C-alpha cells in the first residue's frame, strides 16, 4: 500500500522520487500521497508511453542522457 510504504521510503531516502501506481485512487488519497512526498501518481490502466514520459520526468537530468526507456 502506497500510503504505508511512502513515509518509510521518504524517511530512509528523502531525495528519492516516488511514483505511486494504483488502480483506484480517491481525491483524498491523492492529497495525502502528495503531502507524504509522492512525486507523481498514475492510475491504472495507463498508456505505456505516458508512463515512460512520467518516469523520464522523475529521473535526474544527468541520468536522462544515460538511459533509454
Q: What is the reported pLDDT for 66?
A: 53
Query: How far is Cα 61 from Cα 69, in angstroms, rounded to an integer?
Result: 14
**What are the pLDDT digits (tens) for 8-23?**
999 998 888 899 998 8
Question: pTM of the entire structure?
Answer: 0.75
49, 28 in Cβ contact below 8 A? no
Q: What is the reported pLDDT for 24?
A: 84
**What are the pLDDT digits (tens) for 20-55?**
998 888 889 899 999 999 999 999 999 999 999 999
- Write b or e for each residue in 54-69: b if 16 or more Cβ atoms lie within 10 A of its Cβ, otherwise e: beeeeeeeeeeeeeee
- Kindly indicate the confidence band of residue 62, based on its pLDDT and cuts at 50, 70 and 90: very low
Amino acid at each position: 500500500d502506497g500510503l504505508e510504504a511512502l513515509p518509510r521510503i521518504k524517511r530512509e531516502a528523502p531525495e528519492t522520487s516516488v511514483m505511486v501506481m494504483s488502480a483506484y485512487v480517491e481525491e483524498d488519497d491523492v492529497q495525502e500521497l502528495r503531502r507524504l512526498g509522492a512525486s507523481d501518481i498514475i492510475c491504472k490502466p495507463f498508456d505505456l508511453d505516458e508512463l515512460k514520459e512520467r518516469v523520464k520526468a522523475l529521473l535526474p537530468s544527468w541520468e536522462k542522457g544515460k538511459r533509454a526507456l
